[in-house]
A = this chain, B = another copy of it.
Amino acid sequence: MTEKEPAAPPGLEAHLGYCLRRVSNHVSAAFARSLQQQHVSVAEWVVLSQAAVRPEVRPAELADRLGLTRGAVSKVLDKLEGKKWIVRRTMADDNRVQLLSLTRQGQRVLPQLAEIAGRNDERFFGCLDAQEQDTLRRLLLKLSEFHCIRDVPVE
């Protein structure tokens, strides 16, 4: 018996990164489909969530935090503004800067979207018991912290 080759997994499954991606893509795709039924993209959900958590956030800060260009953020904001979920206000001191905030409608919609995310989580991770879920979360957080992953994933 060799030590290195498990013989069964035919190459790709040997890589942890591959296993992670396979599972992650599956959950994310399901989530994206659920959102899409409400005509919401993942980027919109992430931007809306971030704007809710950081009142008066600026587009530039969102771009940094999300790992997108300002142009890309600008377009997402166009969509969210079109839905009347956020408003862009010009800062009094510096007219170049925009301050973002959720409208009442945006505040009402956010928990509905969060519930979609919650249901998606439940459906997918429900096959793990509480302790396993905890372990998984702990390992993911350890990886996040070790590598200083602060970016909010959009794609």
User: CB within 8 Å of B: which residues of A?
Assistant: 10-12, 15-28, 31, 46, 49-50, 52-53, 114, 117-118, 120-121, 124-125, 127-128, 132-133, 135-137, 139-144, 146-147, 149, 151-153, 155
What's the dominant secondary structure at chain A's contact region? Answer: helix
Question: Contact: B147 with A124, CB < 8 Å?
Answer: yes
Q: Which residues of B contact A17 (CB under 8 A)?
A: 27-28, 31, 117, 120-121, 124-125
Q: Which residues of B contact A11 (CB under 8 A)?
A: 49, 52-53, 114
Q: Which of B12, B49, B151, B153 makes the CB contact (< 8 A) with A152?
A: B12
Q: Which of B23, B114, B117, B121 makes the CB contact (< 8 A) with A140?
A: B23
